[in-house]
Amino acid sequence: MTEHKRLSPLAEGAFMAMLAAAVGVVAIWFLPVKFLVDFVWGIPIIIITKRYDLRTGFLTLGATFFITALIAGPVMTVLLLTELAPLAVAYAILFKYKKSPGTILIIGVVVSIISDLLTVLGYFYLLDTLVVPTEQELRAHVEQFMALYTGMGMDANQARVMVETAIRLTLVLIPSTLAIVAAVRAFFTYMVATRVMRRLNYKTDSLPPFTGWQIPWYSVWVLISGLVMSLVGDYYKLATMAAIGKNIVFIVSPLFFIIGLSVVTYFFQKWMIPKWTKVLLVIIALINFSGSLVLFTLIGLFDPLVSFRNWWRKPTDE
């Protein structure tokens, strides 16, 4: 019986390692599906750690590296694991010790961002490849962008100014773009992991319902600080300060949009209006997507300060 217990984790760990290696090879060989593969690669390591212990989880990770390296080569395997393994290990430990969803997600986002930065450096030093766009690459497409804008009826000089502004902004916002991609990976990996664990009858704490998502009031000051830094940096020609401010704004704006969408969804569910009216409102919001984007972001910006949903609940409770 003892021998069976010793063999069982090793046998299951070997199976999970082969599963993770197969998914990893798919991510390396078929780049178009890599973004989806990123969400599921670490699930076997998370599950095996949850079921047994950290030692078995690390042995599974080591076996995954060995199998993947044999098939896809050591360099690409190192880069893949640099990007995905830290998040899988962090989630495995946090789920094992039953941390709260908020703690898991915050640590997961931080770990994922650091992993992405290390991966970018890894591609540069190991493969002499930049995975982020350079100014030369962007300027190679200037004529295409110019043709696009002039085709829309814009003056040539105006179009050139627009293209130059877009190139500068793209280069400045590379760090925040990487951070947002890393945060999305951390979130969806968490969602997939919790869904799989519940299917396997492991008890995990759930995130609050989407209509109840909120952020602290002081989070608004992060956006304000970013705006101030961006404006002051542009006015006084302080490029570094302006770049940091723009990246802060670009990172937190989607968060306020999500909170705004949460508020709108809450009221959408509470309002007793005909279904056809709700469908019509959704269609209008989609048609005027840019306006809806701004409106939802503003709602999300003010919600931490005024709590729109509490305004609704108080009259209802009375």
In this structure, the answer to whether residues 197 and 276 fall within a common structural domain is no
pLDDT given at position 311: 75
pLDDT given at position 57: 93
Within a domain: 156: no
In this structure, the answer to whether residues 110 and 59 fall within a common structural domain is yes
**Is 263 within 8 Å of 300 (Cβ atoms)?**
yes
In this structure, the answer to whether residues 214 and 199 fall within a common structural domain is no
**% pLDDT > 90, the chain:** 58
Whether residue 89 has pLDDT greater than 90: yes
Tell me the average pLDDT across 213-232: 93
Within a domain: 3: yes
Q: What is the CATH number of the domain that holds 59?
A: 1.10.1760
In this structure, the answer to whether residues 41 and 114 fall within a common structural domain is yes
Within a domain: 74: yes
Whether residue 4 has pLDDT greater than 60: no
pLDDT given at position 271: 83
Whether residue 238 has pLDDT greater than 90: yes
pLDDT given at position 269: 86
pLDDT band of 244, cuts 50, 70, 90: very high
pLDDT given at position 312: 65
Domain housing 37: 1-129+185-206
pLDDT given at position 31: 80
Tokens describing residue 138: 């962007």
In this structure, the answer to whether residues 123 and 5 fall within a common structural domain is yes
Select the more confidently predicted residue: 33 or 25.
25
In this structure, the answer to whether residues 216 and 105 fall within a common structural domain is no
Give the model confidence (pLDDT) of 122-156 as tens digits.
Answer: 988 888 887 777 777 777 777 777 777 677 777 76
Within a domain: 169: no
- If one counts the domains in the chain, the total is 2
Q: Identify the domain boundary among 206, 237, 266.
A: 206
In this structure, the answer to whether residues 94 and 213 fall within a common structural domain is no
In this structure, the answer to whether residues 280 and 307 fall within a common structural domain is yes
In this structure, the answer to whether residues 81 and 195 fall within a common structural domain is yes
